[in-house]
Amino acid sequence: MTPAELSLPAAYGELAGLRIGHPGAPRVIALHGWLDNAASFLPLLPHLPPLDLLLLDFPGHGRSAHLPPGAEYALPSYIHAVLDAADALGWDRFALLGHSMGAAVAAMAAVAVPERIERLALIETVGPLSEEADAAPARLRQAVAAARALREKRLRVFPDLEVAVRARVQASPMQPASARLLVERGTHPVDGGHIWSSDPRLTLPGALRLDEARVQALLRALQCPLHIVLARQAQAYFPQEQRQARLDLLPQARVTVIDGGHHLHMDQPAEVGAAVSPFLQPDG
């Protein structure tokens, strides 16, 4: 089934997404990674069971509205976007399928509103990024300076989509066909070519980041069933030692490790689909 474009109301504007409706099937919202969009999950669709499924564009990503001037993109904003989307669909309870940043948002949403999240399938991240508390002053200075400097920057115009695809692959290695899906949904035409449709503020460093102790406290609060899918090679921002320490906090989680890169759900969709399908449709 071909997913249909969907627009849902939110407090600050419209949330865009792709919808595949199977009434009576398990309800799932899929959450993409940072600077990706709902197209991130298109390669996975043929490998999933029938689901009542929403592929959501996070605020500022894909075709969703940007946050208002002066607002900052932070974890609570994304959690509210998930809940706003579910409310608009009339869903009281649902599962979350998340990749990277989307997996972090999914986990924190399950902590914030455990009564609404039935189960979590997390790909390539377990909880949000963290850093040592002593890094806070430097982070704050960097974030404020970057935000002030962004006002003077001009958006890059790509003469054609192939140039944008190459730039996307360079930024985060993946198969060119996977990058093209993200580029096609994540750009719009202007005079002279195409520009990213994502909010430039997404590239700014956050002003605050949790320390590891707080992240671990949040993870210990997870109550719902968990299936975590990881690439065998840990990412630099989520090193193996930290990854294992967080997994140790979640003895109830099933963990599947697959050879592949960070976007393994796009580049190895059959393997990822085989891992998460029985979990997302437990009575199928």
Taking 70 as the pLDDT cut, the residues of the chain under it are 1, 284
Residue 131: predicted pLDDT: 94
Domain made up of 4-132+211-280: CATH architecture: 3-Layer(aba) Sandwich (3.40)
Give the predicted TM-score (pTM) of the model.
0.96
Residue 72: predicted pLDDT: 87
Residue 85: predicted pLDDT: 97
Concerning whether 198 is annotated as a catalytic residue, the answer is: no
Instruction: Count the residues in the chain.
Output: 284
C-alpha radius of gyration, the chain, whole number? 18
Measured CA to CA, the distance from residue 79 to residue 76 in angstroms comes to: 5
**Which phi and psi (to 5°) does residue 256 adopt?**
-120, 130
| Side-chain-facing half-sphere of 4: CA atoms under 13 Å | 7
Of 67, 109, 104, residue with least CA distance to 224: 109
Residue 283: predicted pLDDT: 72
Residue 1: predicted pLDDT: 67
Residue 147: predicted pLDDT: 92
Residue 284: predicted pLDDT: 52
- Please check whether residue 109 is in contact with residue 83, taking contact to mean a CB–CB distance below 8 angstroms: yes
Residue with tokens 């599962």: 95
- Residue of 40, 100, 130, 198 with catalytic role: 100
Per-domain boundaries in the chain: 4-132+211-280
